[in-house]
Structure 1
Amino acid sequence: MTKLTRTLALSIFALAAGTAGAMPRPMDAGRVIMSDTADRDVAIDTSTRWVNVTNGQTVRFDVGGQRFTFVFDAWPSTDSVPLSAIAPKGVTVPDVRVYIAPNPLYQD
């Protein structure tokens, strides 16, 4: 195997491995907004393991006194996301998964 072929093969392998279990980006699930208005308030503590939301919902999260509001506008392929992926920088969250249910208003 030539040096160029080996380098190309390793590059392709690294790229494939890096995207295989890719974490959803926050923009795949929605966006953080600067607002005190929300459809629900959810308190996160050390015993929280998951949160269920509905696509289209605006949720204000309270993580140990640190608050942020997130509008869930998920891509159809995004049905869950780690809370840490959507929390703003500086907000430390425990290992919590957010499950995003389809909005019943948009079901056939």
Structure 2
Amino acid sequence: MTKTTILAAAPLLALALSIPAHAADSYGTVAPATSTAGRVIDVTPTTRYVNVANGETVTIRLGGDTFTWTVATRSNVDAVPLARVAPEGSPATSAVVYVGQSASYHNS
């Protein structure tokens, strides 16, 4: 490899390293299978949206797949495409997850 080739590839490498390993990291984490979720949400091909609260842990049944997700979004994020948080290889869906504020963060 020549110095020119390395310099030409540097911007692409920098871009690749700046992309998160999985987009769900920006919206929370896929919880271990042993995690206890507060509720189970069934998503079918006709599901258009689901509602969750920030900080909530939910189990989502999507087709034959099931995953548990702990929602952790920034305060300015109120909607996330479900496909962005579903594990790789999950069935395709166009459902949107609407994220509401957690009751534990409301001022009294």
TM-score bin, normalised by smaller chain: 0.7 to 0.9
C-alpha deviation, 1:93, in angstroms: 2.8
Partner SS state of residue 69, structure 1? strand
2:74 alignment partner in structure 1: 75
Structure 2 spans left out of the alignment, 5+ residues: 1-22
Quote the sequence identity (%).
33
Partner SS state of residue 85, structure 1? helix
Looking at structure 1, the residues matched to 99 and 73 of structure 2 have their Cα atoms a distance apart, in angstroms, of 8
1:8 alignment partner in structure 2: none
Deviating beyond 3 angstroms after TM superposition, the runs of 4 or more aligned structure 1 residues are none
Alignment equivalent of 2:32, drawn from 9, 14, 34: 34
2:83 alignment partner in structure 1: 84
Structure 1 spans left out of the alignment, 5+ residues: 1-24
1:93 corresponds to 2:92: yes
> In 2, are the aligned partners of 1:30 and 1:73 still within 8 Å (CA)?
yes
Looking at structure 2, the residues matched to 104 and 64 of structure 1 have their Cα atoms a distance apart, in angstroms, of 30
Looking at structure 1, the residues matched to 64 and 80 of structure 2 have their Cα atoms a distance apart, in angstroms, of 22
Deviations 1:30-53 (A, max 9, x none): 110112421110111011000000
TM-score for the superposition, normalised by structure 1: 0.72
Number of paired residues?
A: 84
Provide closer, same or farther for how the CA distance between residues 28 and 77 of structure 1 changes in structure 2, counting only shifts above 3 A. Answer: farther
Partner SS state of residue 98, structure 2? strand
